[in-house]
Amino acid sequence: MYNYQQLAEKIFVIISLFFYTGGIAPFISETHSLYPVKEELPKICVAITLLLICARWERVINIIVREKFLWLLLAIALASPLWSDIPMITLEEVVPLVRVTIFGVYFATRFRISEQLRLLAWTFSIAVALCLLFGLVLKSYGVVGMGYVGNMEDVVHTGAWRGIYVHKTVLGTMMCLSSLVFLFNIFIERRYRLFMSVGFVLSIYVLLCSTTKAALGILLFIIIILPIYKAFRWNYNILLPLWIFILFLSGIILVFTINSAETIVTSIGKDITISGRTEIWPLIIEKIRLRPWFGYGYLSFWYGGWETQVADIWRELKWGFEPPHAHNGFLEICLSFGLIGLSIFIFSFLNYIFRAFRWLRIIKTPEGLVPIVFFTFSILLNLTESDFMRGDINWLLHVSMVISMLNKNKKYLISEQLLLSSSITYKYII
């Protein structure tokens, strides 16, 4: 007999995941008939999520108490209204972060990584289908410059797709993530391999239509580096020479990139300032020096417009450019939580990367690659965007990967001999 309760739960998860991607919401204004639904949906999602967590609260607590850094960072965000100049706004911004963190905990403790990938594939199937609809049919919404032109950026990027998202860069980011999800499912879901392959191809097509070169570069880099990650499963006697070779090759590539930076950037249609980002960063660093230890409070630096400290940055930029964030995840963390918060965040992230490599060596199936690939995606994305600790699907998946690697599941313990051969790894993961 088919379990309709499980089906209903999975439908709820897919709807929630789609909501956390940020799709459709930008087009629902305060005057739209669906605006009340948009306002109430987050509350409904978190209420249902808490009920589902309560149904298995003992298991959830047993897992999450073993994680420390995640809760320390969340505590800093919750405390940041205390040193913010606009504490109520800061508190309002923290709420979505808490909401997404709760769902990430539920997602990781309820589903194995392979099941998470399957649900994400259904979610992104909906997103890709709607982006195609908005890009090919509803062009006044889904294509930049085809409808309302609000600023110079709309003129510059005319013809680029934004799909169901607020900006073409967001679309590119989502489609990069979608491509990776479908790629993993191609190797995991043998019954639905054709469906996953079509999803992978269409995700890349929409990504190309967004003209987001950074997202395309991230996707290509991860695909290229996947065999290297798989090589970390080799015997240590082979792995050590591989490490030396990779470091040597990386040094050569780095020197070449630095020496040819301008040529490389201009060849892909960008300027050496990376669309003005390198002009923003020194100005942000100056602002960080004014409040170095705890920063300005979670995401509050950019509020207030021309009447607050952000105006000092806007005045220095050309063409009336008014960036709404730092265009770098590490600088954004430093603005929000200062050097203390940034140090904790970097230390925790390094800890998760080491944990992901240990997980990679234990789990020989494609699921073993998922955490390290997602963390790679996250780091590369945040070199030019500010997506660390945001109330969206990127932070949701960050939480999910961190908790999933703590989830004690016998199906994952494939080789007891391998575990016993590395007691440090066993204690760390299990």
Q: pLDDT (tens digit, 9 = 90+) per residue, 348-393? A: 999 999 999 999 989 988 999 999 999 999 999 999 899 999 999 9
pLDDT at residue 150 in the model: 57
pLDDT at 10: 94
Per-residue model confidence (pLDDT) at position 423: 36
Query: Whole-model pTM?
Result: 0.88
The CA-atom distances, in angstroms, between 229 and each of 20, 101, 199, 346 are 29, 28, 24, 21
8 Å CB contact between 283 and 277 = no
Q: pLDDT value at position 154? A: 60
Residue 14 phi/psi, 5-degree rounding, is: -65, -45
In the chain, count of helices (H) and strands (E)?
A: 20, 0
pLDDT of the residue at 254: 57
pLDDT of the residue at 302: 87
How does DSSP classify residue 146?
S
Give CA–CA dist 101/99, Å, rounded: 5
**pLDDT at res. 28:** 86
**What is the rounded CA–CA span in Å between residue 315 and residue 317?**
6
- Give every residue of the chain whose pLDDT is below 70, as ranges: 1-2, 147-157, 236-240, 242-276, 318-320, 407-430
- In whole angstroms, what is the distance from residue 153 CA to residue 144 CA? 9
Q: Which residue has the tokens 């990386």?
A: 250
Neighbours of 140 (CB within 10 A): 11
